[in-house]
Homo-oligomer: A and B are copies of this chain.
Amino acid sequence: MVLEDRWLLPEGVDEVLPPQAERLEALRRTILDLFHGWGYDLVVPPLIEYLESLLTGAGHDLDLQTFKLTDQLTGRLMGVRADMTPQVARIDAHRLRRDAPTRLCYLGPVLHTLPNAFAGSRNPFQIGAELYGHRGLESDVEVMCLMLDTLAAAGFDSVLLDLGHMAIFRGLSRQAALDRDQESTLFDALQRKACPEINRYLNDWSIAPRAAGLMRALPALNGGESILAQAQEIFAGASQSVIEALADLREIARLLAARAPAVELHFDLAELRGYHYHTGVMFAAYVPGQGQALAKGGRYDDIGRVFGRARPATGFSTDLKLLVGSGAAAGAAQDAVFAPWSEDVRLAAAVAELRRGGRRVVYALPGQAGGAPEIGCNKMLSCIDGQWQMTDVPQG
């Protein structure tokens, strides 16, 4: 074993040190308080579950992303969560079993077997909010507004919101009579906007010209709100579900114009990111100069079915480490008081009093290396005329 690389972390695995960790904690509290204020209750799902619970309703992507472990008690396969959303859906469907709309939030580390293509992280710190039990667009809009407020709390005021709708691709696939493999192949090519590839598939599979034409139109349908009118014309002859999905996007744009007038909207009818569990509107937030989405979410109405309760659901999540790393918020200067080592009980009382008042007080230890400045203290406690008093640390 090579001693020199003992301290190396695996590629794509990172940790947070002082003072960045303090900022992470502060933002964590701000966001959880925001969630609380909006009525979202905190849940804390476990790091591991049986694999079939974690991969519920999800596609192959999430399976590949999930580290597998063997349960020594039962021999069954467990997974380390790669995404907390299916866990929270299980909690809603099986543990809480409410009929009224249920608002839940969560946060914690997740693990990915391979680094994400953009950020390169295998251990994001996922934080998100989910709203269960309501099928209307109003709940999607609530979740989008909460996402925008979350990003604003992290210092991102100028956000571009990218919107898509899973039902458009699903409706066109049905219309083109694609089988499951074909749908999956085309989905993949659409994600990459690989137009020549898409054309080749549609030809090879002998898709009816009209259905193929609608599918071919998808990658170009991205831009401002005007593309919705364009899509409405192009998809006039498409199935009802496609036409309804377009109407959903128009209604969402109208509601957002009132609730979040500052946000810039962008529509992309071929962009279908995520873990394949989405069923309705999908959205992602971008900021200038960053290719990766800062936060994303969408509607996923079917996910609770395997737990015996197919509740409507919509939600979003983000990576707290990404928000802190990208954020402009500077750390506040440390303000700490140095206390000499002493057995004087009056000093102990003075220290306890300062700490109760919210001050940071650090004791010297007999014979320690370094003094007040080396341990980050700008004030000190000194005994003056028999009284412990706070003074400035002498410059030097």
Contacts of A69 in B (CB 8 A): 67, 69, 80
Pick the contact of A43 from B16, B71, B94, B362 — CB < 8 Å? B16
Taking the complex as formed, is A136 at the interface, i.e. its CB lies under 8 A from any CB of chain B?
Answer: yes
> Contact: B42 with A18, CB < 8 Å?
yes
Taking the complex as formed, is A119 at the interface, i.e. its CB lies under 8 A from any CB of chain B?
Answer: no
Chain A, residues 361-388, CB within 8 Å of chain B (1/0): the string is: 1110111111100110000000000000
> Contact: A44 with B21, CB < 8 Å?
yes
Pick the contact of A45 from B15, B32, B72, B134 — CB < 8 Å? B15
Taking the complex as formed, is A12 at the interface, i.e. its CB lies under 8 A from any CB of chain B?
Answer: yes
8 Å CB interface, A93-132 against B = 93-96, 98-104, 108-109, 111, 113-115, 123, 125
Closest to A36 in B: B360
> Contact: A49 with B9, CB < 8 Å?
yes
Most chain B beta-carbon contacts within 10 A, residue among A15, A38, A374: A15
> Contact: B94 with A7, CB < 8 Å?
yes
Number of copies: 2
User: How many positions in chain A have a CB within 8 Å of any CB in the partner chain?
Assistant: 104
> Contact: B47 with A111, CB < 8 Å?
yes
> In the docked arrangement, what's the CA distance between A374 and B101, Å?
9
> Contact: B71 with A42, CB < 8 Å?
no
A10-B78, A123-B46, A259-B348 known; A17+B361 contact, CB < 8 A: no
> Contact: A38 with B111, CB < 8 Å?
no
> In the docked arrangement, what's the CA distance between A133 and B365, Å?
10
> In the docked arrangement, what's the CA distance between A46 and B21, Å?
12
> In the docked arrangement, what's the CA distance between A368 and B139, Å?
10
Taking the complex as formed, is A175 at the interface, i.e. its CB lies under 8 A from any CB of chain B?
Answer: no
Pick the contact of A136 from B41, B109, B307, B366 — CB < 8 Å? B366
> In the docked arrangement, what's the CA distance between A374 and B45, Å?
23
Taking the complex as formed, is A14 at the interface, i.e. its CB lies under 8 A from any CB of chain B?
Answer: yes
A138-B365, A258-B343, A345-B258 known; A123+B38 contact, CB < 8 A: no
